[in-house]
A and B are shown apart, each in its own frame.
Chain A
Amino acid sequence: MFFNNLKPLHGNVYVNETWCKGCGFCVQFCPTNVLDISPGYNAKGYHPPYAKTPERCHNCLYCQMICPEFAIFVKGDDECVKGETNQ
């Protein structure tokens, strides 16, 4: 347990499965490997991504930037906007 109260930033990944065309960019380029291709299909017949290890997301927003279908977005946790806990 670190003595200073630094905490990594955390974001929550939201996927709009109906818009996804399964290109896999977000899965391939996520720097902390949060995402993976889900086994299920969406209405268009693609495999949309899902957050396999959501705790690893640092809210870098890269997946949101590169998604060609605007089908993924990330929202940071409000409680640790500055990355510091209340301890």
Chain B
Amino acid sequence: MTKKRTGVFVCHCGNNIAATVDVKRLAEEMTDEETVVYSQDYVYMCSDPGQNSVIQAIKDNQLDSVVVSCCSPNLHEKTFRDNAERAGISGFTCEIANIREQCAWVHKNREEATEKAIKISRSAIRRVAHNKALDPIAVPVTRRVMVIGGGIAGIQAALDVANAGLEVILVEKLATIGGHMLQLSETFPTLDCSQCILSPKMVEVSRHPNIKLMTYSEVQDVSGSVGNFRVKVLQKPTYVDPEACKLCDDCVQVCPVVVPNEHDLGLTARRAIHIPFAQAIPASYTLDVDACLGLNPIRCGKCKDVCEAGAINYDMQPRTVFEEVGAIIVATGFDLYGQENLGEYGAGKVEDVLDGLQFERLCSASGATKGHVLRPSDHKVPKEVVFIQCVGSRDPAQHCAYCSKICCMYTAKHARLYKHHVPDGRAYVFYIDIRSGGKGYEEFVQRTMEDDETIYLRGRVSKLHRTRDGKVRVLGTDTLTGQNVEIDADMVVLALAMQPSKGTEQAAKVLKIGRDKDGFLAEAHPKLKPVESVTAGIYLAGAAQGPKDIPETVSQASAAACKVLALLSQDTLSHAPTVAKVRESHCTGCEMCVDACPYQAIRLLNGKAVVNEVLCEGCGTCAGTCVRAAIDVKNVTQLQIHAMISAIMGG
């Protein structure tokens, strides 16, 4: 083998690296390495002159491999690999030595940091000496998209992708799409009816030729990788054939069981067989199997007896469907922080203490009271209502540490809606501070205070309890006057924190995508990749990624759709060729790597392990498992790892 000719390029990164690492000394010492024939340092290697100097040096010195000591490979690996290609050598013979994040930024002592940077760079040089020139693997693309979650985020993303001509599968856990937005009465800051602006989009989804709607369904398993996912979806039985159902409502009339209605958050009741609301998509009834007396024509069977269309079928079975898709958008939304966690506010057991969504259902024209604000305990009009903000939010000691972002605005909206319904009523708002960043938001809050005469009290509520005369006594402080406040309210509305929904938790597990410390789905980069998940080909939209309002959700959904379209507009995707490779002479066919592979990329053929290069992500789990060292990841072989370790140990 002819001797390698490696070039080393050390970046100052302005002062980011140069302040802590002696870059000149680093560049000089690297020439001591056997394989290094060229070394230089430059203030910004990633700048145009810096990049050109790399290309020029490769050409002038006939370099066959390159090490760039600079920032994280997450940032500029692609830049320098492209430069290597432009200079006529394979991009995979270029490696990054991360001396910024892993050295300069985390150390103060210049002498020691320089020593460490030398070791890091030296290990990269030893590694690159064994790197092979590889060609990216071309992978065919499945031009279909799955959207998980049928709220406003999922609906918007599905419509955007479908309008671009791609086939979309929209999976929703509940019996109808619409999500939380459909439960809202009006939306801030324009106070337009939530249902009126959402239902046209829902109708569009149901009529769209490119959208396949799967309601009452859950994603159970996902395999494959970007461009070629295989998703297992379980479709639960509704026991009603939506094609045959004529929506006559006869079945509901005879159903003997009454349970709380989830759509109205328990403010109203429904039957075991029910339609969530009039505009439900798909327009059909669902038989709630938990409430039903028994799926048996002899046991009760009243709904089936009365159904003239013959749409009810007790023998309907759950169906498992496999779908091949190229990309997945996760829009699984939020749940409210449970009232049961709030002992100081009655733990959900004090009557007439509602959460924000319940109050929306009271105000909504299609809601529990047909648009009259009445309190649940005695169905009378409440004359004094207390709204409490930051319930569960911004409380790192006991509840959620984060700000739920939308509560300031929706509480202002609630106070206004209440005053519009009950002009002679009094509305109090307890707040910590008002966060009304957004177009027209600050003006909205001001109008709530001034035009609608809502009384804003800066302070927290310490506790509340029910009095004998049927009121809710609220004990709080007004920190601006320094006085304790005691209000006998008819009704209390809590602006509860948003937390990731149960479905979000489930989706994260099934899709194997990361979550942040609060349980929301983690984006790949907080600033530059806000809609990508850490797994390629899986995108995020809406409140599953973090608390956000409707305009932001819609923007993120459209952004995710745009990312998906950019991904799937390619004929083939290039897959990193740094995949596992089996040394057949050493393989005994013990199958340990087959079991260990998290991507199901290895199988046994004629007693030897075979790697499916398209599925392999090059994680190296198989190499760690193999007892005979018969499997290696290309360009990260065990030989290379050994060389890197010995370089770091000073060998």
Chain A residues packing against B (C-beta within 8 Å): 1-4, 6-9, 29, 31-32, 58-62, 65-66, 82-83
Contact = CB atoms under 8 A, between A and B. Distances in A.
Contacts of A31: 293-294, 299-300
Given A3-B267, A31-B294, 12 more contacts: A2-B268, A3-B264, A3-B379, A6-B258, A9-B255, A31-B293, A61-B300, A62-B298, A65-B298, A83-B254, A83-B255, A83-B256
Contacts of A65: 298-299
B258 A83 contact: yes
A3 B299 contact: no
B270 interface: yes
A1 B264 CA distance: 13
A1 B127 CA distance: 72
Given A31-B300, A83-B258, A3 B377 contact: no
B257, B369, B376, B379: most-surrounded residue (chain A CB, <10 A): B257
B260 interface: yes
B498 interface: no
Nearest to A63: B299
Contacts of A3: 264, 267-268, 368-369, 374, 376, 379
A46 B420 CA distance: 67
A60 B368 CA distance: 28
10 contacts: A3-B264, A3-B379, A6-B269, A9-B256, A58-B293, A59-B256, A60-B293, A60-B302, A65-B299, A83-B256
A4, A61, A62, A65: most-surrounded residue (chain B CB, <10 A): A4
A6 B253 contact: no
A32 B258 contact: no
A35 B4 CA distance: 88
A83 B253 contact: yes
B249 to A, nearest CB: 12
Nearest to B302: A60
Interface of B: 253-258, 260, 264, 267-271, 293-294, 298-300, 302, 368-369, 374, 376-377, 379
A50 B255 CA distance: 25
A1 B253 contact: no
A58 B257 contact: yes
B269 A4 contact: yes
A59 to B, nearest CB: 6
Contacts of B379: 1, 3
A11 to B, nearest CB: 8
B300 A6 contact: no
- The 9 tightest CB contacts between A and B, nearest first, are A9-B256, A58-B256, A60-B300, A31-B293, A3-B368, A2-B269, A8-B258, A62-B299, A6-B269
A11 B270 CA distance: 19
B235 to A, nearest CB: 26
Given A2-B260, A4-B269, A58 B376 contact: no
A47 B333 CA distance: 55
Contacts of B269: 2, 4, 6
Nearest to A5: B269
B257 A8 contact: yes
A85 to B, nearest CB: 11
B300 A62 contact: yes
B258 A7 contact: yes
Contacts of A58: 256-257, 293, 300
Contacts of B260: 2
B293 A4 contact: no
A82 B268 CA distance: 17
A74 to B, nearest CB: 11
Given A31-B299, A62-B298, A65-B298, A4 B268 contact: yes
Contacts of B257: 8-9, 58
Nearest to B296: A62
B256 A66 contact: no
Contacts of A7: 258
Contacts of B294: 31, 60, 62
Contacts of B376: 1, 3
A11 B268 CA distance: 23
A66 B258 contact: no
Contacts of B302: 60
B565 to A, nearest CB: 45
A65 B377 CA distance: 40
Contacts of B254: 83
A34 B298 CA distance: 17
A60 B300 CA distance: 4
Given A1-B379, A2-B269, A31-B300, A8 B374 contact: no
A34 B269 CA distance: 22
Contact of B298 (A1, A2, A4, A66): A66
Contact of B368 (A4, A8, A61, A62): A4
B271 A6 contact: yes
Nearest to A6: B269
A4 B362 CA distance: 12
Nearest to A61: B300
A10 B379 CA distance: 25
A70 to B, nearest CB: 15
A62 to B, nearest CB: 4
A83 B368 CA distance: 18
A29 B268 CA distance: 30
A9 B254 CA distance: 8
Nearest to B292: A31
A6 B377 CA distance: 16
Contacts of B300: 31, 58, 60-62
A62 B302 CA distance: 11
A60 B86 CA distance: 79
A6 B293 contact: no
Contacts of B253: 82-83
B299 A29 contact: yes
A7 B293 CA distance: 16
Contacts of A6: 258, 268-271
B253, B258, B260: most-surrounded residue (chain A CB, <10 A): B258
A7 B259 CA distance: 9
A2 B299 contact: no
A2 B271 contact: no
A23 to B, nearest CB: 16
A29 B264 CA distance: 33
